[in-house]
Amino acid sequence: MAFNHYAKIKRILTEQPEGWYIRRIDKPTTAKNFRGETVHYDHYYRIYTADSAPIKYCKFQKIDKLASILNTTEEELPIVEEME
């Protein structure tokens, strides 16, 4: 079975207390897809605890994929604006 980063994020979030949130970071990043190809993105997302600490392993690029694995919609995810 292939590694699924989004499934790992889901497991991590089930252990988090209420109040975690997602922030879009408008900086370039890269990731390898399931074929081993490097894909470039102009932004990424990071999930933080209610205390504003980044949650380990919770950096990702596809908000729609996270919403799908969490059985919710993008609109229902707790996304906040990036703070400089």
Q: Give dist(CA 10, CA 14) in Å, integer.
A: 6
Tens of pLDDT, residues 48-60: 999 999 999 999 9
Rounded to 5 degrees, φ, ψ at 65 are -70, -40
Both tokens of 79, joined, read 């996304």
**Total structural domains within the chain:** 1
Quote the pTM value.
0.87
The whole-number pLDDT of residue 48 equals: 98
- Cβ atoms of 45 and 57 closer than 8 Å: no
Range of the domain at 19: 5-80
Q: What is the mean pLDDT of the chain?
A: 91
> Which of 33, 14, 3 lies closest to 71 in space, CA to CA?
14
**How much of the chain exceeds pLDDT 70, in percent?**
93
DSSP state of 53: P
- Residue 8 — left, alpha, or beta (φ > 0 → left; ψ -120 to 50 → alpha)? alpha
* Whether pLDDT at 41 is above 90: yes
Tens of pLDDT, residues 18-31: 999 999 999 999 98
